[in-house]
Chains A and B, each alone.
Chain A
């Protein structure tokens, strides 16, 4: 009968309860979406390996490093493998069609970035064809790319039209892997540059160093940078994760703003829910006093109020959580190119549940305390 009392009480003012539930569902949904946006922001860093180092020009990423550094870095103690990458920055048909493109050394790059998955045949074909490229599955879906297609990019960093043949579509090892990039042969870029702008050939954007043991990251980073100290192109080496976080930190204020908005949303619904519960309990003061007169303890009254608040929070929160997945999918479809990884994580769902629970508990706290403390004779006199 306790449950019957809780649920029937919860729906006594149907419109008020439904509006509160809708508000809670929207708040929990908004929180889930905003949290997912923040996770997406950090997805690159989260997916980065601690056993990979990125070596770049210490002045800025814009300045390249000589190709001759590759063998020197390879000789440093603790370095297991090395590869390279150049940001290409081309345009596919129209400037709005943005996606990241990198010129890479295919074999070593794919060995180090083992999270990029290709079939053996795709890998073989990519390695064989110097004008070949591979694209991530998400990118392929977005533009309808298929293996064998020829695509032309207009170079912005490296002017001219550049033709590529898609030799493979890679997938990710897990949800955190960025499958929205295009990768092609550094040799193709470099040989073309030798012909068109010889002064820009034999240059590398970043070196990616596989060290195997992440515990030695600081020591090996130092060793690499010392190697090129006082040279024309001094280096800055950091872990892949720190490198990715460096990009995120430039937009940190946006992330902080989003995080704040997500908390504000929860705070607003907490106020709405607390108001609902306060009104509800005030209206039922005489009923709670009657229960206490009949011999029910103040704890029973507290249970009734908490039960009602938690029931509303559970239903509203549950709807909000359930709605997060389809809405996030829609969001990802619309803004997918800005967020390579846009998945609702189990942590986000856990936090949504926790917030719904806290909203239920906190909003019932003061009304329950008041109802438990009110003297029976005073409660019986009150009219809801």
Chain B
């Protein structure tokens, strides 16, 4: 067994569409080392988002072995898998997925409700996380009062707040203009460089992928290549 943070062996995933069974991943195997910043690229339907969902523990493979952060997550039941996600995974979504009725600070604080932590400490940590993404002065703003780039930074702060082992990002810049997208990508790069967060990012955008250490290409549910981008 390798000491990789993420280890996939012969991962198979299919979807049922009516009577039809659609293959999505056809025996994918690879490892991701801790501290990596990996971009998953490929055409629509290549299986990259499915692969990301499996690694993040929000979907299950049909077969194969999937070890993430030392846990064979395919064997966990729903409750244990939820606990595992809360401990190990930070999510960044394309459309931010913030709770519209909560302020930026409350959104960042939200994952800490799952920890046994006093309210004051939760709030303090959330403020620190917002400071880290440059939004300390917007703590009390509702998501609707923030720009897309700012909302995504709140989402990044929320992903960081529990100090997860792994951050997964599905098209994190897909809904942003170029300038905001660059801000977000630089921020993610900083998280990887300065605090060593392992990041796996799905993207269509080769410029976004350029911020990663390596790019893995998928095509028709299979790995079609890997290129190193920056040292």
Contact = CB atoms under 8 A, between A and B. Distances in A.
Tell whether A pairs with B. yes
A295 B111 contact: yes
Contacts of B113: 1-2, 296
A293 interface: yes
A295 B85 contact: yes
A275 B102 CA distance: 25
B102 A5 contact: yes
A376 B52 CA distance: 13
Interface string B104-127: 001001110110000000000000
A234 B221 CA distance: 98
Given A286-B97, A287-B99, A295 B106 contact: no
A375 B91 CA distance: 16
A327 interface: no
B91 A294 contact: yes
A2 B59 CA distance: 26
A295 B58 contact: no
Interface in A355-384: 375-377, 380
A293 B56 contact: yes
Interface range on chain B (Cβ under 8 Å from partner): 20 to 34
Interface in B69-88: 78-79, 82-83, 85-87
Interface residues of A, number: 22
A380 B111 CA distance: 17
A369 to B, nearest CB: 15
Interface in B31-55: 53
- Determine chain B's interface SS by DSSP, over half rule: helix
A58 interface: no
A27 to B, nearest CB: 27
B101 interface: yes
A259 interface: no
A380 B82 contact: no
A294 B97 CA distance: 11
Contact of B110 (A8, A286, A294, A376): A294
A8 B101 CA distance: 6
Interface in A259-305: 286-287, 290-298
A12 B142 CA distance: 13
B114 A4 contact: no
A292 B106 CA distance: 17
A202 interface: no
A9 interface: yes
B106 A4 contact: yes
B102 A287 contact: no
A294 B86 contact: yes
Contacts of B82: 292, 295-297
Contact of A1 (B79, B85, B100, B109): B109
B83 A295 contact: yes
Point out which of A286, A290, A375 has the most chain B C-beta atoms below 10 A from its C-beta: A290
Nearest to A6: B101
Nearest to A292: B82
Contacts of A293: 56, 58, 85, 91
A51 B83 CA distance: 67
Contact of B97 (A12, A297, A380): A380
A377 B99 contact: no
Given A293-B56, A293-B85, A297-B79, A1 B106 contact: yes
Given A293-B58, A294-B110, A294-B111, A4 B102 contact: yes
Interface of B: 53, 56, 58-59, 78-79, 82-83, 85-87, 91, 93, 95, 97, 99-102, 106, 109-111, 113-114, 158
Interface of A: 1-2, 4-5, 8-9, 12, 286-287, 290-298, 375-377, 380
